[in-house]
A = this chain, B = another copy of it.
Amino acid sequence: MTRKAVQSSPAIAPSNGATLVSVAKAASVSLATASRVFSNPELVRRDTAERVLRAAGELGFRPNLLGAKLRAQRTRIVGVMLPTLENAVFAECWRGIEEAALAQGYSLMLVTSRYEPERERERIEYLLRHRVDGMVLTVADAARSAVLDQLDAEGVPYVLAYNQAPSRGKRHSVSVDNRVSARAGVETLIAAGHRRIAVVSGAFVASDRARQRHAGYQDAMRAHGLESLPPLSLPAHTPTQTPADVERIRRLIAAPRAPTALFCTNDMLAIGVISILKRLGLSVPGDISVLGYDGIELGGLLEPPLSTVVQPNNEIGARALARLLERLKAGGSGGSPGRGVPRATLLPHVVRAGATVAPPA
């Protein structure tokens, strides 16, 4: 029975194998009491607690969250799935999430999906294996997402970020109103005098936001008696500048009745498009106006600063996490507390003027 002399030292040497048991021993209390000092201090007498704390300090005790999580059947880990961090929108969102989680003592596990539904599945499964308590995620298409259906079926609590859930649906989300805000953005273009406005987007199939924003564009055009132009759909949501991309832009602006303003469904795209336009010899906004969407900080640091529809990215992340924690505390599993509370939170947007939009030539 004695398994002495395990000759090869095992994996990681935790520097000092101080465990709760050793702390309890050193403080002459039971394991249970030592545990309580860390998780429910109010159940322990002050001096007892202090004794334990002192022992812990002397032994260099570091709680092993694994043990706690396993036993407690709850990890206090939130899984986060974002399309990519290379688009600053999501990096800013992550920041909001991380701050909020830190403040509440929750841990995070981040995965990126690259806008690929296949990869979404795989990464979610990975989070599930880690027994995250819940998730904050941005999916390609919330309306038809295998991943979300699975999560619903399994009763895993989650909150969508950026994806805008139907207002009276069952899903929780934190976003701006993509359609309404896009319409507001396009209307500033119209107000500036533009009549021929085109949308430039990444592949619509990979982003429900892009589609909603396009719908907002159509709303604006229709409301002002203008004709919607066919959108220019580029392959990626992050900008690329392949010859093919350049050629498509060139054709777009060389057409007989070319648009005088472009509405890009995200800022990164807008930045890439502006560069291409400049290389094609056009001046922005002199020859053509460009409006972005997202409000990443970078946009404001450029010259001219990007005109764009601003969403509160940090806050979207922070609020999504906060909402998730509310759910976790309230119902535990997938339950549905919160009677009158709308599940789809819409945060306010702002159209930032910038300087990439001007009246048409």
Which size bracket describes the interface of A in this complex?
35 or more
Cβ-based interface call for A154 (8 A): yes
Check if B74 sits within 8 Å of A85, measured CB to CB: no
Closest B residue to A134 by beta carbon equals B12
Tell me if A255 is interfacial: C-beta within 8 Å of chain B.
Answer: no
Instruction: For A16, list chain B residues within 8 Å (CB).
Output: 154
B74 near A66 (CB under 8 angstroms)?
Answer: no
Judge if A334 is at the interface, Cβ distance under 8 Å: yes
Q: Is A11 close to B, CB under 8 A? A: yes
| Chain B residue at smallest Cβ distance from A11 | B74
CA distance A74 to B301 in the complex (A): 45
Q: Main SS of the interface on chain A?
A: mixed
When the two chains form the complex, which single residue of B11, B86, B111, B128 contacts A133, counting CB atoms closer than 8 Å?
A: B11
CB neighbours (8 Å) of A92 from chain B are 86
Judge whether A217 is part of the interface by a CB distance below 8 angstroms: no
Contact partner, A275, options B86, B134, B239, B301, Cβ 8 Å: B301
Distance (whole angstroms) from the CB of A73 to the closest CB of chain B: 5
A13 touches B129 (CB 8 A): no
Determine how close the nearest CB of chain B comes to the CB of A229; give it in whole angstroms.
24
Q: Do A86 and B95 touch across chains, with their CB atoms under 8 A apart?
A: yes
**A106-147 vs B: 1/0 string, CB under 8 Å?**
011111100000000000011011110110000000000000
A224 an interface residue at 8 Å Cβ cutoff?
no
The answer to whether the Cβ of A63 comes within 8 Å of any Cβ in the partner chain is: yes
Residues of B within 8 A of A74 (CB): 11-12
A7 within 8 A of B: no
Asked if B301 and A129 make an inter-chain contact with CB atoms under 8 angstroms apart, the answer reads: no
Q: Report the minimal beta-carbon distance from A352 to chain B, rounded to whole angstroms.
A: 14
CA distance A110 to B78 in the complex (A): 12
Min C-beta distance of A321 to chain B, whole Å: 14
Expressed in whole angstroms, the minimum distance between the Cβ of A57 and any Cβ of chain B is: 13
Cβ-based interface call for A44 (8 A): no
Please give me the 5 A-B residue pairs with the lowest Cβ-Cβ distance, nearest first: A15-B154, A275-B303, A85-B91, A278-B303, A11-B74
Selected A-B contacts with CB under 8 Å, 12 pairs: A11-B332, A12-B155, A15-B156, A66-B130, A66-B131, A84-B95, A86-B91, A107-B109, A108-B110, A271-B298, A274-B303, A302-B302
4 further A-B contacts with Cβ under 8 Å, apart from A13-B332, A110-B110, A276-B303, are: A14-B153, A66-B130, A86-B95, A302-B302
